[in-house]
Chain A
């Protein structure tokens, strides 16, 4: 009997809340992109875990009890927001019994904060439109420039949670943002023009004009463009077909031309008439790439590509969505590789 009591007491002590300030912040991310960015910003002052894997469709994740357990002791919960996770995150928060991380709580971090959201419906929508997102397209992490805004939001939250390490988080955040700029535009161009200015020009659509107009040492700046943008430059204006509207931000950023989707409407399976039309379009416009994700029906995507004479490319939607896409940088390395390779064929 005594040993049982002692055991219970020991158990109680082992799981008693710990308020030591130098303890790493416990961060849980709904999706792996946020986890990777939090790791980059938080360094060794955070302990990060993820709920959904990059292989999963973020719309359709089960609210498993084990996920509630992960959230039970979380200090911060990073979510995508824009109702992407509406089918599971509210249930998980409720089940976790963790008041800190409930919507509006100090530990609830909506990473869509300050993101310039696109495809916000401007008319009345209803479910006849399929799986509609009234707050706009939620897949904003597919634009690498948004990674910098997310880092900002996460850094803010970490600094609030552990004010003694503000400088640490700030310097790591800046380093992350700088690396993203270099990966996006190429180090040479960033050194010449500066990341902030490139970001602004890129977002306002003036980058091409600027690079053509300005020159350095007799050569146009355009020649200095490297990184993902440089790599994707030959694909600018290339027509592609996507399975779902999951890459809108990426498509806009890299100037692809995507107006056709395998899905009839978001979340609604296509019928044969739509697929036949699609094949017709692919042939007519000589579209080379049909892009999908691992979680969509590969048969349908494959058939459309095959009949139309295009390449089926399985892109990761999140970090971990395909082998090799192991962090936020490698994610875009892999995506740009896949698209460039498929377009060459």
Chain B
């Protein structure tokens, strides 16, 4: 993988010795003052110009003489017959000439060659300031579901929600080392939403303290919460065109992310075990299971404006990630996560999300640019959501409920032959209780696209022309309670191009 390096090259401003260069500089007005010329200045300039022209003449003459001198010295090898290169020169002649040249060149070498120091890395050093990259991820889709239903089926913020075309994720990344202690990363995402509006989101922007003692690492800023495997990953690294149903439901369309700080610790245990803890804000569209956006409706309840009044109104994550290599060719990465925070159905209600995840990968040591391989990833998530009692004009309309939602996905990606991969994913999600009962009317989870019982099978085939581009086709079969027909089939074509620097992906 090659990084695009922004290099600062400092060229020393030497006096030009080439007459053309002198002239160019005169024409470009290089040595002149930048102020508008007054009468005196014009005179001064004319004088200067004349002086420079004389200089040019002098240099021209000198060069001309030098050339004359060169041509005047007859080259010893030169014979009149050879003056125009003769294409039919005999092999013997060619060989003889080569020999002569060889000798001449070898002689010159010996005369000039000082005890040579090891050759250096080719010229000017580069100062690496920032790595920039631009990633374009787009899709085309067709579905048996109506577009309005498709948007519920594909509830992820970067999922292809349209019949026709979707600009899923146009991402700019910036990364660089700040100083000996800090590194900076930022991802800014542009997107064209289903109404055709271009939206911009500050996906991530954070610093990482890279020089802490005791195997610690600190991140601070706006970042994806390190919950499970998928939440913190970017859409262009996904193995499918869309995110799993359960992630869209409990982590939200764009995943859980908010400004905050994270401390992670690589434990001194004899196997890989990383403990992560973070504190972040809990509001906005990137915290839908938590404080969310006031006025939004969750499980029949309108979210209230909740403010941070104590430490209980902040989002807390704990995660343990471990890893084992049963053989040199198999790697296991199991993890568990828990997320605690407030939710805005009332001033004191809470949400908890728990997750377990496992990634297993087989890849032979003698692999051809990563092929063949098999990667198996599974996550299960459970959300416990305190939905406050609903009170209207002093009358309790619905009692307080604790809503349980859970779901999982399991996917296998098989790199069967370079540069092809095939993927299969099974998705399941269900809301356990009905959301709301008022006046004899029950808002059943089965009619709520975000809480109904859903199953999905996805099959994908991806072709990678290089590490920096891909084309993917995917078929989704959805079975869903909220759909009138009960099921839907959708086809997608996705492409990605990435240009600029891009670091290695997380394992």
Chain B residues with CB under 8 Å of A295's CB are 365-368
Asked if A25 is an interface residue, CB under 8 A from chain B, the answer is no
The reply to whether the CB of A337 lies closer than 8 angstroms to some CB of chain B is no
The reply to whether A294 and B272 form a contact with Cβ atoms under 8 Å apart is: no
Point out the residues of chain B lying under 8 angstroms from A268, CB to CB: 466
Q: Let me know if A114 is at the binding interface, CB within 8 A.
A: yes
Q: How far is the CA of A116 from the CA of B266 in the complex (A)?
A: 38
Task: Report yes or no: A15 in contact with B268, Cβ–Cβ below 8 A.
Answer: yes
Q: At the interface, yes or no: B503 with Cβ under 8 Å from chain A?
A: yes
Q: Say which size band chain B's interface belongs to.
A: 35 or more
Known contacts A56-B365, A72-B266, A96-B266; is-contact A134 B507 (Cβ 8 Å): no
B439 contacts chain A at the CB level, 8 A cutoff: no
A55-B366, A86-B3, A117-B119 known; A64 vs B331 contact (CB < 8 Å): yes
Interface assignment of A87: CB less than 8 Å from any CB of chain B: yes
| B121–A55 CB distance below 8 A | no
B215 and chain A: residue at smallest CB distance: A97
Tell me if B507 and A65 are in contact (CB < 8 A).
Answer: yes
Find out whether the CB atom of B331 lies under 8 angstroms from the CB atom of A66.
yes
Q: Which residue of A lies closest to B177 (CB)?
A: A103
Q: Are A66 and B504 in contact (CB under 8 A)?
A: no
A57 to chain B, nearest CB (A): 7
Q: Is B419 among interface residues, defined by CB-CB distance under 8 A?
A: yes
CB distance from B271 to the nearest CB of A (A): 7
Which chain A residues lie closer than 8 Å to B53 at the CB level?
Answer: none
- A312 vs B294: C-alpha distance when bound (angstroms): 69
Residues 63-94 (chain A) with a chain B CB within 8 angstroms: 63-66, 68-69, 72, 83, 86-88, 90-91, 94
Chain A residues positioned under 8 Å from B419 (CB to CB): 269
Given contacts A66-B331, A68-B272, A86-B1, are A97 and B368 in contact (CB under 8 A)?
A: no
Q: Does A115 contact B (CB under 8 A)?
A: yes
B121 and A127 contacting across the interface, CB-CB below 8 Å = no
Interface contact B504-A90, CB-CB below 8 Å:
yes
Interface centre among B116, B121, B211 (most CB of A within 10 A): B121
Contact A65 B2 (CB under 8 A): no
Q: Does A102 contact B (CB under 8 A)?
A: yes
Interface 1/0s, chain B 256-271, versus A by CB < 8 A?
A: 0000000000101101
Contacting pair B122 A56 (CB below 8 A): no
Complex: A294 Cα to B364 Cα, angstroms: 11
Q: B301 at the A/B interface (Cβ < 8 Å)? A: no
Name the interface size band of chain A: 35 or more
Q: A56-B367, A62-B363, A297-B418 are in contact. Are A132 and B2 (CB under 8 A)?
A: yes
- Nearest CB in chain B: distance from A66 CB, A: 5
Q: Which residues of A contact B210 (CB under 8 A)?
A: 94, 99, 102
A99–B217 Cα distance when bound, in Å, is 11
Q: Is the CB of A87 within 8 A of B368?
A: no
Query: Does A65 contact B323, Cβ atoms closer than 8 Å?
Result: yes
* B121/A136 in contact, CB under 8 A: yes
Could you say which of A57, A88, A90 contacts B367, with CB atoms under 8 Å apart?
A: A57
* B389 close to A (CB within 8 Å): no
* Residues B325 and A83 in contact, CB atoms below 8 Å apart: no
Contact B503 A64 (CB under 8 A): no
Q: Is the CB of B2 within 8 A of A296?
A: no
In the complex, which residues of chain B have a beta carbon less than 8 angstroms from the beta carbon of A134? 2, 5
- B79 contacts the other chain (CB 8 A): no
Mark each residue of chain B from 318 to 345: 1 if its CB lies under 8 Å from any CB of chain A, else 0: 0001111100100101000000000000
Complex Cα spacing A332 to B268, Å: 39
Say whether A63 contacts B212, CB under 8 Å: no
Check A65 against B368 for contact (C-beta < 8 Å).
no
Given the complex of chains A and B, what is the CA–CA distance between A117 and B120 in angstroms? 8
- Of B3, B333, B367, B504, the residue contacting A65 (CB under 8 A) is B333
Docked-complex contact A99 and B367, CB < 8 angstroms:
no
Contact B370 A60 (CB under 8 A): yes
Which residues of B, 245-288, contact A by the 8 Å Cβ criterion?
266, 268-269, 271-272, 274
User: Using a CB–CB distance below 8 Å, which chain B residues touch chain A?
Assistant: 1-3, 5, 113, 116, 118-119, 121-122, 180, 208, 210-213, 215-217, 266, 268-269, 271-272, 274, 321-325, 328, 331, 333, 361, 363, 365-370, 418-419, 466, 468, 499, 503-504, 506-507
The 12 listed contacts between A and B (C-beta, < 8 Å) are A53-B365, A59-B369, A64-B331, A65-B323, A68-B272, A91-B504, A97-B266, A98-B215, A99-B210, A127-B499, A136-B122, A267-B369
